[in-house]
Amino acid sequence: MKLDIFEISKCDGAKLPFSGNFEVPAQEFLGNLFGFPEPITVEGEIVNQSGRFFMTATAKTLIESDCARCGKEISKPVTASFGEVFTNVETTDDEMISFEGTQIDIDDVVVNNLLENLPEKFLCKEDCKGLCPVCGKDRNTEDCSCSQDTGDLRMEIFRKLAEKDEV
């Protein structure tokens, strides 16, 4: 989605409201693959402040990925509100995004902000039990009789001492 800022670049304080949607292919982020089964909807405005263009926006979409615990494919609605600063002069300021000409392409900025606002772990449900590390069964749908690892054997002496203190 390209925004033409030619008109607002002439006047300090001028605003350009925008809204629209665009499609995005699947994206890899932090080692996970995220799909976008429907277009991203975005709305906001850009304000010219002394040749810097401040964008505030809200983006919404549906994101598909795998649950971090059980691996089941899931879809969740995601919304992100964010702000960015654009400049068409050369800068070394990491807080500003450079562009050339009079058009700002916001697609990558919107997608990055949506992905950065995802929860740390993408889960099918908050209390997902995950997969059994021994047999691989989905603990959400079936029980297994596998013995669960009690941890590092080197720590066994401390567990025994703790049990004696409880008695």
Structural domain spans, the chain: 2-128, 131-167
Span of 45-54, 138-147, 149-158 with lowest mean pLDDT? 149-158
Q: Give pLDDT, residue 135.
A: 86
Q: What is the mean pLDDT of residues 88-115?
A: 90
pLDDT tens digits for 23-55? 999 999 988 899 999 999 999 999 999 889 999
Instruction: Tell me, rounded to whole angstroms, the distance of Cα 148 from its chain centroid.
Output: 33
List the beta strands (DSSP E) in the chain. Answer: 2-4, 15-22, 27-29, 32-34, 40-49, 52-66, 73-87, 96-98, 103-105
Q: Are β-strands 96-98 and 73-87 bridged in parallel, bridged antiparallel, or unpaired?
A: parallel
**Whole-prediction pTM value?**
0.77
Span 117-124, average pLDDT: 87
